[in-house]
Amino acid sequence: MQFVLNCVLIQYELSERVAKVRNKSEVPKNFVFISLMIKNYSLFLWDESNEKMIMKQYEQKRNAPAATLIRQFCDKKSGKVSVARNELKRRFDCLDWKQQKRIIEAFLHSAPSDRQWIYPKLLRLWDDSFEKTVQELWEEYHEERCSWLIVRYFPKEFIMSHLDELLTGRNYFFICLRFGSQEDFQIDKDRLTPFDYLYVMYSLDRKMSDEEAMDCFYQTARQECEKTFYFTASMPELRDRRQSPSPLHIKSLGQACYYIRSMNLSKAAEECKEWEDKVKEGIAGELRYLQNTVMTDDDYKEGVYHLLQQSIAAHLPSQYMSLSLHQLSEQNSAVNDLIDEFGLEEVKELPF
């Protein structure tokens, strides 16, 4: 801190000699920048009488007791609700369980935004004493985050009796993971994505055929091809240009293949390997050009991702490829009328 202050004083003396500072508006920009660097510790004011900067030390406020903040938060007429809310959020993870329970109870009985904030906290700090309150809130508001708590902690009988109402987001996926090990629980494949279904079967050690596993794999690959954006997290295993890119470097496909191998589905695993080699061969020419092009690592990974998308789409089994206009017109004569009416044309190149 002393070092920073010395730098400021030196900077001020130099600027005063060069610019002959007479008022605050003439203070050089670099001086203002340095003063901002330590604004959390001090406040600089311009003393017009002496034509110099003076420093006012910042005074740290003492923390109010958590009980006081909770009381202020619950009293909507206190005038301190917003301040108390922000402070309770900041301190929450560091407080003891007794105080956390009081905060959870207060937030559950507060505004929708407060409930949305506390639901994820309660998901990992669940206590059965909140079951009645959570049930009442869900029955009144049917909030998705509230349903997470029900799916995770409520009795099976309650969940099954309200299953249709609870099927929002990925709730059914977590219901399967929780109750799927029970013999009387039937997994509805149509309510899961192909990737989620494969993961559920793997996690619960349930049996599935090689054909069924590959169907999930190919559908997951097709969904990957339909994405029009790229995230860095899409290919975490592809670290640099020295690696030979593989479709299994794409996170979802690599995980799907791992599940298949872990379930000892040898025929499906072999088919997966053969398909991987075909996709890698399909990008060989364009990949050499990409590797020799000057670009950042992130741009390189994005380029590889789009090359893989094109090669994956080209090597999917025919039943997983999107139907062309010609194929649609052969299956349904009414499509020909639409083609003629709107002047539709076949797009030969892939959209990614």
pLDDT, tens digit, 9 for 90 and up, residues 32-49: 434 444 444 455 555 555
Q: Tell me, what's the pLDDT at 193?
A: 95
340 confidence band (pLDDT: 50, 70, 90)? low
Does the structure show a pLDDT above 60 at 181? Answer: yes
List of residues 6+ apart from 129 with CB closer than 8 A: 101
Does the structure show a pLDDT above 70 at 17? Answer: no
Model confidence over 101-139: pLDDT tens digits?
999 999 999 999 999 999 999 999 999 999 999 999 999
Angle at 103 between CA 108 and CA 69, to 5 degrees: 125
Q: Tell me, what's the pLDDT at 300?
A: 86
Model confidence over 209-264: pLDDT tens digits?
999 999 999 999 999 988 877 776 777 777 777 778 899 999 999 999 999 999 99
Q: Tell me, what's the pLDDT at 168?
A: 87
Does the structure show a pLDDT above 50 at 21? Answer: no
295 confidence band (pLDDT: 50, 70, 90)? confident
SS3 267: helix
CB 154 within 8 A of CB 131: yes
Q: Which two tokens stand for residue 158?
A: 């309650």
CB 21 within 8 A of CB 15: yes
Q: Which of 263, 161, 249, 156 is nearest to 205 (CA)?
A: 263
Q: Tell me, what's the pLDDT at 57?
A: 56
Q: Tell me, what's the pLDDT at 345?
A: 57
Model confidence over 130-178: pLDDT tens digits?
999 999 999 999 999 999 999 999 999 999 999 999 988 899 999 999 9
Q: Tell me, what's the pLDDT at 325?
A: 44
Angle at 52 between CA 49 and CA 55, to 5 degrees: 110
Q: Tell me, what's the pLDDT at 71?
A: 95
The pTM for the full model equals 0.72
CB 171 within 8 A of CB 179: no
Of residues 343 and 97, the one with the higher pLDDT is 97
Q: Which of 217, 315, 304, 301 is nearest to 258 (CA)?
A: 217
Q: Which of 196, 154, 149, 146 is nearest to 176 (CA)?
A: 196
